[in-house]
Amino acid sequence: MIRMVLETVLHTLVFPGAVLVAVPYLLQSSGLELYAFSSRYLRVLGGLSLLAGIVLGLWCTRNFIVLGHGTPNPLDPPALLVRAGPYQVVRNPMYVAVGLILAGEALTFGSAILVAYLLVMVVVFHLVVVLYEEPTLRRSFGAAYEEYCRRVPRWIPRVAWLALAADGTEHRR
């Protein structure tokens, strides 16, 4: 358990640290800013997005360790398919957390270059999930992962009545 926690801390500092701290800092300090915007409301929204992303990311990491018996490190992934907590709402909540943090940074700093970076990262995340992670999870967990994919959307949570309709259950008001 201690090894998993240490591995998770290291993995959290290296990859997310680069994506969430180093690259945004370098972009902001590069002089490449396309357009700066400022609004107290956007800064507040950015702060809320940052907070939501951090909480969601920590919750997902905890579930990987406690429920999945693994880490977020791709070299030591969870041994069990994690389907609880935020994983009941979307299949990739860690990436959603990173997106929320990047959006929060862009809004807080009023930076169009960070908005552009966020959009690039969203495309990269989607490609990683579709081309690598999903095929790997299908091989590892088989029918259980297929059933999970049918029940839980990849990125955008379903509204309750849409989920019922998608499952073939009639929704009544």
% pLDDT > 90, the chain: 66
**Domain membership of residue 47 as a residue range:** 2-8+33-166
| Overall average pLDDT of the 46-51 stretch | 98
Say yes or no to pLDDT of 101 above 90: yes
Judge whether 136 lies within some domain: yes
| Overall average pLDDT of the 133-153 stretch | 95
Say yes or no to pLDDT of 79 above 70: yes
- In whole angstroms, give the CA distance from residue 5 to residue 7: 5
Judge whether 120 lies within some domain: yes
Domain count, the chain: 1
Judge whether 20 lies within some domain: no
Judge whether 55 lies within some domain: yes
Say yes or no to pLDDT of 52 above 60: yes
Say yes or no to pLDDT of 16 above 90: no
| Overall average pLDDT of the 69-86 stretch | 84
Judge whether 88 lies within some domain: yes
Cα atoms in the Cβ-side hemisphere of radius 13 Å centred on 148: 20
